[in-house]
Amino acid sequence: MRGQFFYPGRLEYLANELLGIYERKKGFPVEPPIQAEMVAESVGLDMLYEEIPQEPGRTILAEIRPKARLIVVNERRLRFIEQFPGYLNTTVAYELAHWWLHVDHAALDHAALPDFIHSSAPIRPEDGRDKRDEYNADELMSYLLMPKTLLLQRAVKVDLQGWRGLYKLREDFGVTISSMKVRLQKLDLTYVDDDGHFHKSHQEARGQGSLF
């Protein structure tokens, strides 16, 4: 439900639960790139491209329509989304994560359930719970599209101390370069500082910084 706290291990478990459903529907193990749209279909969600009205100052890339069981990508923002490789896949996975975490599936037919969830532009001002929901959805998205076992298998084959290696992994997994960078950093496989310099870990970067 919305506003709930999830430990990282729980989010990874829920992502693997989604992948398990998808694998059973496919009949064989998943391999990267994992297509978020196909995973969504395996749990009964369809995808639609449609213009989504936006209030001034708000940007909505996509939204969930729980009662209709739809992930809707905003056609007004499609040109922007398609400028960045992997952005559409991560956007759909992000919406799917909100569906898996924040929609009461048992209450879908109840009139009181809100019909829209604009996860890329919260309806109400951020109050802590909104930030938590966005963080949780982003974390689940990363576990879903970049499962640890599959990522480690590919990561050992590239140089993680340069952009070429990261871009190769980005291409393999069908995600954005920023998502791949964060995922690798959280696995402590590499760290890119604010100046774009690579380090073996965040700890190493902090240690080097303390020398100057």
CATH number at residue 9: 1.10.10.2910
Domain with 185 in it: what CATH number?
1.10.10
Q: Which of 111, 145, 179 is the last residue of a domain?
A: 145
Domain extent at residue 195: 148-212
Sorted by sequence, the CB contacts under 8 Å of residue 33 that are 6+ apart come out as 89, 145, 172, 173, 174, 175
Residues 199 and 130 in one domain: no
At 27 the pLDDT is: 94
Residues 69 and 153 in one domain: no
At 116 the pLDDT is: 55
Q: Which of 96, 130, 145 is the last residue of a domain?
A: 145
At 113 the pLDDT is: 47
Which residue positions in the chain have pLDDT lower than 50? Answer: 111, 113, 119, 121-125, 127-128, 210-212
Residues 138 and 153 in one domain: no
Q: Which of 90, 112, 145 is the last residue of a domain?
A: 145
Residues 188 and 205 in one domain: yes
At 122 the pLDDT is: 42
Domain count, the chain: 2
At 110 the pLDDT is: 52
The SS3 assignment for 63 reads strand
Model-level pTM? 0.88
